[in-house]
Structure 1
């Protein structure tokens, strides 16, 4: 089968063996894939948790049809339209555990379905499970113009956030954040953004920050968070190391939580998928929660899709179809 593999000369389309499902695995005939920032790193040889490196079939997110069931797989049947996340997604066939699948709504095509699994699971876990957002509270999404950021703002609004702030350093994308739930859009590269947040929240700061930037904004986040507020560290696009104001962290008594899928057990990931199904699935079926698709590329043009992502001018998801 055809797959996008990182090899000695970088990432390229090549032929690999079709996988066989074992245990609770399901074999998926892939119809569309969503691109993610971690994929971009792996096309350059970087590891993402235990994934990555030479010989790796790349890709983390897809939609397709169930082609075959492992002997212990449950909850789906051959022919079901599904979407999910895992490894080796950029291929004609991929494997997934039966616990990290969603049945795709009948009113959703494969392109749309492929854009959702990582955004839904990452941000429901960050905003609701770890962020403990309550109705009437305020939230700031750092890096809000990414697919996961746009989903975070929508989930926050769905769950009753009274005031949602989104950040983007690109003026065009910043100007569109209100379409996806932002009451205020800020530029996190502007030194005055903390004052904007404090002014908008009556001097108190926000109840919750979901941070995809980290690095250079870490101490500003502390200053923009309410006393006894929460910061959920989801991404580190602005750097993995920085000076940290421990005194400000302590003075504001902030609950600072780091999250990643890279070190989660399979059972933990299954629980995250189950929480999405239980808590917000109706909003997905009704299309209340959805993401814009910036561009769609054919699988043969997947290199161009990654060049488009690296240019960093897109809003929403980049999708590749097979």
Structure 2
């Protein structure tokens, strides 16, 4: 098969489509012929040599895919050859074929094309496992999403609105904020021209929001603590702004705050299967109802993975960038 290979750690130009060995099927997995895969920020870090795959997982990029099952392991009962599916991966999506544990496979959501289904597994599993399964975000609460126009952000906005939650977002341009508004965001804040802490306090009568989903890290840590309500929950899923922070941690005690981090890729096969099952039960119906839609900014052929990475690193996109195998 062909796969995108990191020829040496570096910039987008190091990604080359090459002939490689097919992955080997095991008894508890399925082999998928990939139709599409999606780019994630983690891919750009792995390309630079900063985020190696977990031991024993595919060396190729790609944390989600859609496609058609070509073969199934002998212990697999739910799936059969010919099924159209999408899947959460630990790696290997930037290829023509990938082997996936059966518990990480999902049916294509009703009404969604095979290729666009690749935009859902990683964002759905990340958002559902963090702010819903762990932080217990629920109807009537308030939710601040940093990077509202990202793949994670555009999904989180739609899912939260489906569940009756008031959504605040930050983004860096009027165009991105307009898109967030169209996806359902209630309060849209340009972090380049506004102090999001002040705006959150203003919009909540000084109370703050219940849950924050943060992909920035260090520079936002103190501001996030200030933006949370009593018993608020901060979930950190990215460190795009840096890893170091200086903060008044007395706020954590005074407000009884919870600060958590997430790493989906390194979870056990069993835990990933549990998350995938919860996503199918809770998220797939929202997609089937048309309340949560795929947000795809651009498609590239697999051979132009480097161009996709260049686009992602400009942060000009809204939603997901897909590679078509």
The corresponding residue for 1:289 is 292
Q: Residue 199 of structure 1 aligns with which residue? A: 202
Deviations 1:83-124 (A, max 9, x none): 012111111100111001111035321221011111111111
Query: What's 2:3 paired with?
Result: 3
Equivalent positions of 1:196-235 (< 5 A) are 196-235=199-238
Q: How does 1:127-166 map to 2 (within 5 A)?
A: 127-161=131-165, 163-166=166-169
3-state SS in 2 of match to 1:209: strand
- Asked whether the 8 Å contact 1:46–1:52 carries over to 2, the reply is no
Match of 2:265 in 1: 262
Deviation at 1:262, TM superposition (A): 3.4
Q: Which residue of 1 aligns with 2:44?
A: 40
**Kept after mapping to 2: 8 A contact 1:127/1:155:** no
Structure 1, unaligned runs of 5 or more:
none
Contact 2:53 2:59 survives alignment (8 Å): no
Within 1, Cα distance between the matches of 2:228 and 2:178? 24
Contact (CA 8 Å) 2:110, 2:287: kept in 1 or not? Answer: no
Looking at both structures, which has the greater relative contact order when contacts are Cα pairs under 8 Å and sequence separation is at least 6?
A: 2
Shift of 1:300: 2.0
Question: How has the CA–CA distance of structure 1 residues 189 and 249 changed in structure 2, closer, same or farther, with 3 Å as cutoff?
Answer: farther
Q: Within 1, Cα distance between the matches of 2:52 and 2:247? A: 25
Unaligned runs of 5+ in 2: none
Q: Secondary structure at the match of 2:283?
A: helix
- Go from structure 1 to structure 2 and tell me whether the alpha carbon gap of 1:48 and 1:175 turns closer, same or farther (over 3 Å shift): farther
- TM-score w.r.t. length of structure 2: 0.93
- Cα offset, 1:250, TM superposition: 1.5
Contact 1:130 1:257 in 2 (8 A): no
- The structure-2 alpha-carbon separation of the partners of 1:297 and 1:49, relative to structure 1 and needing over 3 Å to count, comes to closer
Matched, 1:84 2:95: no
Q: Is it true that 1:122 corresponds to 2:126 in the alignment? A: yes
SS of residue in 2 equivalent to 1:199: helix
Counterpart of 2:282 (choices 272, 279, 283) is 279
What SS class does the counterpart of residue 210 from structure 1 fall into? strand
- CA–CA distance in 2 between the matches of 1:57 and 1:318? 17
Q: How does 1:240-251 map to 2 (within 5 A)?
A: 240-251=243-254
Kindly state the Cα deviation for residue 263 of structure 1 after the two structures are TM-superposed: 3.2
Whole-angstrom distance in 2 between the partners of 1:302 and 1:110: 19
Structure 2 CA distance, aligned partners of 1:109 and 1:67? 19
Number of residue pairs aligned between Structure 1 and Structure 2: 320
1:13-92 map, 5 Å: 13-48=17-52, 50=54, 56-86=59-89, 87-92=91-96
1:270 CA drift (Å): 0.6
Query: What is the Cα deviation at residue 52 of structure 1?
Result: 11
Indicate the SS of the match to 2:169: strand
User: Separation in 1 of the partners of 2:109 and 2:212?
Assistant: 31
TM-score, normalised by the number of residues in structure 1: 0.94
Give the 3-state SS of the residue equivalent to 2:36 in structure 1. strand
Mapped contact 1:283–1:289 kept (Cα < 8 A): yes
Determine the C-alpha separation between the residues in 1 that align with 2:109 and 2:157.
22
**Could you report, residue by residue, the CA deviation over 1:213-269 in whole angstroms, capped at 9, with x for unpaired residues?**
121011011111001111111221111221122112211111112111133111111
